[in-house]
Amino acid sequence: MESMLNKLKSTVTKVTADVTSAVMGNPVTREFDVGRHIASGGNGLAWKIFNGTKKSTKQEVAVFVFDKKLIDKYQKFEKDQIIDSLKRGVQQLTRLRHPRLLTVQHPLEESRDCLAFCTEPVCASLANVLGSWDNLPSPVPSDIKEYKLYDVETKYGLLQVSEGLSFLHSSVKMVHGNITPENIILNKSGAWKITGFDFCIQSTNPSEQEPKFPCKEWDPNLPSLCLPNPEYLAPEYILSVSCETASDMYSLGAVMYAVFNKGKPIFEVNKQDIYKSFSRQLDQLSRLSSSTLQNIPEEVREHVKLLLNVAPAVRPDADQMTKIPFFDDVGAMTLQYFDSLFQRDNLQKSQFFKGLPKVLPKLPKRVIIQRILPCLTSEFVNPDMVPFVLPNVLLIAEECTKEEYIRLILPDLGPVFKQQEPIQILLIFLQKMDLLLTKTPPDEIKNSVLPMVYRALEAPSIQIQELCLNIIPTFANLIDYPSMKNSLIPRIKTACLQTSSLAVRVNSLVCLGKILEYLDKWFVLDDILPFLQQIPSKEPAVLMGILGIYKCTFTHKKLGITKEQLAGRVLPHLIPLSIENNLNLNQFNSFICVIKDMLNRLEAEHKTKLEQLHVMQEQQKSLDIANQMSVSEEARSSSTNNQIDKVFNNTGTDLLTSGPDSKENELSSVQKKASLTLEEKQKLAKEQEQAQKLKSQQPLKPLATSVTPPMKQTKDLTDTLIDSMSSLTSHSINKAKVASSNSFSSVSCMGVGMGFSSPVDSTKRNMTNGLNTNMGFQTAGFSMGSGPTAQNFFSGPSAAGTTKMSIVPTANMPNYSPMSAASAISPLTQPNRPPDMSALDNLFGPQKPKNFAQPANTMTNSSSASNDLKDLFGKVKISALEKTDFCIHLVLQWNCTSAKLFCVLKISHLFTQLQSTEE
């Protein structure tokens, strides 16, 4: 890579040095910037040709430079002869003006180091194209090395040379004297131009007389640059020292031979012995065979043979050569017509341009670009000719690459984009819009092409609007999305709403329907579909267009319509339209078919959504139940051994005062251990509110109860146990031994406790526990077990998932708080009094089981307890110890939870009675 860069650097440096040394100090550089060395030409290819530009106008030119270093080997008088010869040729060329002669832009300028003059832009000399690369830069430019002459170029080039000679011979009365490939220059457009008038001979006779051309004898001692090229020189120059216009025709024949033989001349001439060479050449010309001319096209072979004839009189003149059939080629005639285009009127031009599209495909691309395109674009200044020229220019653009289009065509199309008259210009551009959008750069599309489309949509001509709407879908994929969304769609909507033409309105809807696939889904839903409801007309074609847009949006995979849009906007719009009286049966069926499809999808989507929501809700419920069950099982397994101990180890004071606080502790622990559902949280909040209410209540005082005489009635065993238990409990409170302990102390020797473990059917709750539901007893039941004796009754912290039991005090319940010694604990000196059982009555409230009827009277002494024992044990008088054993036996045997509870209470009563008996 580095070596390539170094090579490129050296080449650029060398070329720059050559240019600088060549034109340094020459006055030409004052007005022109000299560029790259591109070709060589003139006699002996002595002139270097550079491209250049005029500083003032930036006009492109060619700069011919003769470096005097080439003639350093000659003596001074020889140098002067060479310089004089070169100057003469340029000066003569400067005076002559003809389309077939090279045009001089700036006359010859001489400096100490060089001669220089400027001409129209050129490509190369014919000699360079045919393979003579003398005085060219190294390496040879690729455009010259790869240059190929097409048949149409050859034909028309030779025709141009013939026309130039005809001008010189007929109008100027001049013999060129050195028609060679070196003196035929190809300009930038590919036209062949004559130059090199170093040895031209002007007629000495007046113009009205027969021209006479003096000829100088060949001097072999002169420098080569002071002599014409003998290989293309007519024999009479050397052998008879005479010349005439036919001598140039011989040179033309030799050039034609060289063109068809890759630059090889017909004869090789020994310049050292030129007379002998020409004598031998004369014999060969007299016996010229067809094999020698075999590479020349057959239709012109005979004419070339005539041009190379030894006798000048036999040779065709220049005017005759321009009319031979060989030059009657369509391509050559087309190029010839372009060269004379400035002489034609608009009618002739329009007829020619109409037929040009048929000829262009037959011509080579390079010929079209070099020769035809510049002539076409030059007509853009004539508005009347633009509709005839523009189709040909766009046809050429289709064959060009994007780079060629941007460089050669687009600069000339820019002003045409902005022309609004004649209207045909807009139509032509719309028909070729895909070409413009494909090859035009994005910035130019935004600035020039799309504004032209917008003007077409806003044009007053209905024909233009219809054509524009029909063409837009064909190139919609080439328009960038912001331009389509912000500029194109609003103009289409405006055209649809404001036009009075039904065709324009229908075409607007059709256009929108075709370009929906290039739009964003939400833009269609938010902008296009609401627009359809604004269309005022109800013609069947318009209604079907609206239906088509709805259907395309509904069925398109990329777009689609949401069920909310279907239910809220689309169906309420379509259903009324479907019953318009203007619709026929088929149109109505089309509406109904689309409406049914929309309803079916709406039903399916919403039903699927609801089913999914239902499944999710069921799954959530299952998860919640599973979580609760797992938490409950863990709590039960961890608290089974501890729950029995909590029954009898807590005092009555704790039961009444510590319940709300312990409930709050339990709630916080439950919240910490498990994530609660909304229903559970609401339940806990209610319990907290109830606990706060209990705290705020005043302490309850026991009410005095009056003793009523017992009534004769059938006693219920359970009620008797309740009464007996109440009396014994009152008795135990008054004992001095237990005065300092809690009201309901446990019997450690028995090891009896109470827990909550056995599940009970919810339908039998009130029948099995025998307690008021307001007390907080759950349907878990009771079971017996042993445990520690130091825990509170019904008030210890409960495990997670286990519902805690609390006894809510009532108005009639005595305050058993250990802090109130006067009301809860009797001192040792206080005499025994009948226990108040009203608190126990309140415990069982109005929701007591049916089989637990409240006795009419309350047990007040030990004699009533004996009567109850008689009822319980069949009127049999037994000791308290035996009764205790029997009750324990019942507790172990009965399955009824309520019965077990009251048996336990009876046992406690009996123990108290035993203590009283001992005292």
What is the rounded CA–CA span in Å between residue 266 and residue 285?
A: 10
What is the rounded CA–CA span in Å between residue 290 and residue 164?
A: 28
Tell me what pLDDT residue 792 has: 40
- Domain extent listing, the chain: 6-327, 340-410, 644-918
**Residue 726: which of 833, 808, 645, 851 has the closest Cα?**
833
Residue 561, C-beta contacts closer than 8 angstroms, at least 6 positions apart? 525, 529, 550, 553, 554, 570, 598
CATH topology of domain 6-327: Transferase(Phosphotransferase); domain 1 (1.10.510)
Residue 536: CA atoms inside 13 Å, Cβ hemisphere, count?
Answer: 8
Between helices 450-457 and 424-431, what is the axis angle to 10°? 120
What is the rounded CA–CA span in Å between residue 872 and residue 866?
A: 10
CA 818 vs CA 448, 646, 652, 743, 821: distances in Å:
101, 18, 8, 8, 6
Give residue 626's identity as a one-letter amino acid code. A
Residue 754, strand partner residues:
784
Neighbours of 8 (CB within 10 A): 10
Q: Which structure tokens are listed for 104?
A: 């001089």
Tell me what pLDDT residue 699 has: 60
Decide if 244 contacts 165 (C-beta within 8 A): no
What is the rounded CA–CA span in Å between residue 304 and residue 321?
A: 10
Q: E strands along 8-136, which residues?
A: 32-41, 47-54, 60-67, 104-110, 114-119, 122-125
**301-325 residues labelled b (16+ CB within 10 A) or e (exposed):** bebbbbbbbbebeebbbbeebbebe
SS3 annotation, 174-200: EECCCCCHHHEEEECCCCEEECCHHHC
Residue 594: CA atoms inside 13 Å, Cβ hemisphere, count?
Answer: 25
What is the rounded CA–CA span in Å between residue 279 and residue 272?
A: 14
| Long-range CB contacts for residues 680-686, cutoff 8 Å, separation at least 24 | none
Phi-psi region of 44 (alpha: psi -120 to 50; beta: other; left: phi over 0): left
Tell me which DSSP letter residue 169 carries: I
Find the Cα–Cα–Cα–Cα dihedral 366, 372, 374, 378, rounded to 10°: -170
Tell me which DSSP letter residue 101 carries: B
CA 549 vs CA 208, 371, 910: distances in Å:
84, 50, 96
Tell me what pLDDT residue 648 has: 44
> In which residue ranges of the chain is pLDDT below 50?
1, 12-17, 20, 644, 647-674, 705-709, 712-715, 731-866, 869-870, 873-877
Tell me what pLDDT residue 865 has: 45
Bridge-based pairing of strands 174-175 and 192-194 is unpaired
pTM for the full predicted model: 0.58
Residue 227, C-beta contacts closer than 8 angstroms, at least 6 positions apart? 199, 218, 219
Between helices 585-643 and 540-555, what is the axis angle to 10°? 30
Q: Which structure tokens are listed for 709?
A: 């005489």
**Residue 457: which of 483, 488, 421, 425 has the closest Cα?**
488
Tell me what pLDDT residue 89 has: 94
Phi, psi of 108 (to 5 degrees): -65, 135
Question: Helix, strand or coil for residue 66?
Answer: strand
Give residue 915's identity as a one-letter amino acid code. Q
Tell me what pLDDT residue 260 has: 93
What is the rounded CA–CA span in Å between residue 307 and residue 317?
A: 9
Find the Cα–Cα–Cα–Cα dihedral 298, 304, 310, 311, rounded to 10°: 110
